[in-house]
Amino acid sequence: ELKVEQNPLFLSMQEGKNYTIYCNYSTTSDRLYWYRQDPGKSLESLFVLLSNGAVKQEGRLMASLDTKARLSTLHITAAVHDLSATYFCAVAFSDYKLSFGAGTTVTVRA
């Protein structure tokens, strides 16, 4: 069965501290996507990871992919309030569809 598991599902961050969201998946894939969703809004693409060892960074966010471990991480450096949102990872198990995790709801507090 194709599964994508994110943890934690809820993350309360303190401003200025570092945190990591984990995304595990059940079957071989070499394509993994990270999205951000604000309440009531659509999905904003953050990163596309296309190979083992891929690392991408944008501002305070950094994503990496380990295809052998079937694991991706989204690392947040020095959290700020603007990062409050729900973050989804999605895995392409075939060429035709993305399988999403349940999402990690992030709240950043002062």
Partner 1 sequence: DAGVTQSPTHLIKTRGQQVTLRCSPKSGHDTVSWYQQALGQGPQFIFQYYEEEERQRGNFPDRFSGHQFPNYSSELNVNALLLGDSALYLCASSEGRGYTFGSGTRLTVV
Peptide bond into 8 cis (omega under 30): yes
Task: Tell the smallest beta-carbon distance from residue 35 to partner 1 (Å).
Answer: 8
Q: Tell whether residue 96 is a contact of partner 1 (CB under 8 A).
A: yes
Q: Tell whether residue 88 is a contact of partner 1 (CB under 8 A).
A: yes
* 19 vs 35, beta carbon nearer partner 1: 35
Q: β-pairing, 85-91 with 61-66? A: unpaired
Subset of 16-35 contacting partner 1 (CB under 8 A): 31, 33, 35
* 80 vs 92, beta carbon nearer partner 1: 92
Subset of 33-72 contacting partner 1 (CB under 8 A): 33, 35, 40-43, 45, 48, 50
Task: Tell the smallest beta-carbon distance from residue 82 to partner 1 (Å).
Answer: 20
Tell me which stretch binds partner 1 (CB under 8 A): 21-29, 55-63, 72-80, 95-103.
95-103
